[in-house]
Amino acid sequence: MDAVGPARDLEDYLAHLGVERGLSPHTLAAYRRDLSRYAAYLGALGRARLSDVRPADVDAYVEALRTGSDGGSALSASSASRAVVAVRGWHRFAMLEGIAPSDPAVDVRPPSTTKRLPKAIAVEDVERLLVAASAGDGPGPLRDRALLELLYGTGARITEATSLAVDDIDLDDDAGSVRLFGKGRRERVVPLGRFARDAVDAYLVRARPVLAQAGTGTPALFLGMRGRPLSRQSAWAILQSAARRADLEEHVSPHTLRHSYATHLLAGGADVRVVQELLGHASVTTTQLYTLVTAQTLREVYAAAHPRARG
End residue of a domain, out of 42, 77, 96: 96
Residue 310 falls within a domain, yes or no?
no
Please indicate, yes or no, whether residues 147 and 286 belong to a single structural domain of this protein: yes
Domain harbouring 61, CATH code = 1.10.150
Give yes or no: residues 262 and 194 share one domain.
yes
Domain check: are 91 and 188 in the same one?
A: no
Whether residues 138 and 202 share a domain: the answer is yes
Q: Are residues 205 and 138 in the same domain?
A: yes
Within-domain flag for 212 = yes
Of 79, 96, 113, which residue sits at a domain end? 96
Residue 80 within a domain:
yes
Q: Catalytic: 31?
A: no
Output the pLDDT for position 12.
87
> Domain count of the chain?
2
CA–CA distance, 258 with 119 (Å, rounded to integer): 10
- Position 297 scores a pLDDT of 58
Q: What is the Cα–Cα distance from 88 to 94, expressed in whole angstroms?
A: 10
> 103 lies in a domain?
no
Report the C-alpha gap between 279 and 154 in whole angstroms: 8
* Residue 193 backbone dihedrals phi, psi, to 5 degrees: -70, 170
In the prediction, which pLDDT does 25 show?
Answer: 86
Is 38 annotated in the active site?
no
Instruction: Assess whether 164 and 261 both reside in one domain.
Output: yes
Residues 64 and 136 in one domain: no
Cβ proximity of 33 and 10 under 8 Å: no
Is 110 contained in some domain? no
182 plus 250 within the same structural domain: yes
Of residues 158, 199, 195, 193, the one with CA closest to residue 178: 193
Q: What is the DSSP string of 94-147?
A: HHHTTSSSS-TTTT--PPP---PPPP---HHHHHHHHHHHT-SSSHHHHHHHHH
Predicted TM-score (pTM) above 0.85: no
Same domain, 129 and 262: yes
Candidates 21, 255, 273, 299; catalytic one? 255
The pLDDT value recorded for residue 273 is: 81
Q: Which domain holds residue 26?
A: 6-96
Burial string for 196-210 (b: 16+ CB within 10 Å, else e) reads bbbbbebbbeebbeb
The yes-or-no answer on residue 306 being catalytic is: no
**73 and 146 belong to one structural domain:** no
Query: Is 76 in the same domain as 132?
Result: no
In a domain, 111, yes or no: no
For each of the chain's 311 residues, which pLDDT tens digit applies? 334 456 677 888 998 888 888 888 888 898 999 999 999 999 888 888 899 999 999 999 998 998 888 888 888 887 888 889 899 999 999 999 898 999 999 888 877 655 565 578 889 999 999 999 999 889 999 999 999 999 999 989 899 999 999 999 999 867 789 999 887 778 888 888 899 999 999 999 999 999 999 888 899 999 999 999 999 999 999 999 999 999 987 778 888 898 888 888 888 888 878 888 888 776 666 666 666 666 665 566 556 665 666 55
Q: Catalytic residue among 47, 157, 208, 259, which? A: 157
Q: Distance between CA 89 and CA 12 in Å, rounded?
A: 13
**141, part of any domain:** yes
- Among residues 91, 258, 259, 264, the one annotated as catalytic is 258
Q: Is the dihedral of CA 37, 38, 44, 48 positive or negative?
A: negative
* Domain-embedded: residue 221: yes
The pLDDT value given to residue 4: 44
Residue type, 45: L
Are 11 and 143 in a shared domain? Answer: no
**Residue 281 known to be catalytic:** yes
Q: Which CATH number does the domain housing residue 201 bear?
A: 1.10.443.10
Q: Is 258 a catalytic residue?
A: yes
Q: Which helix or strand (DSSP H or E) is residue 281 part of? A: none
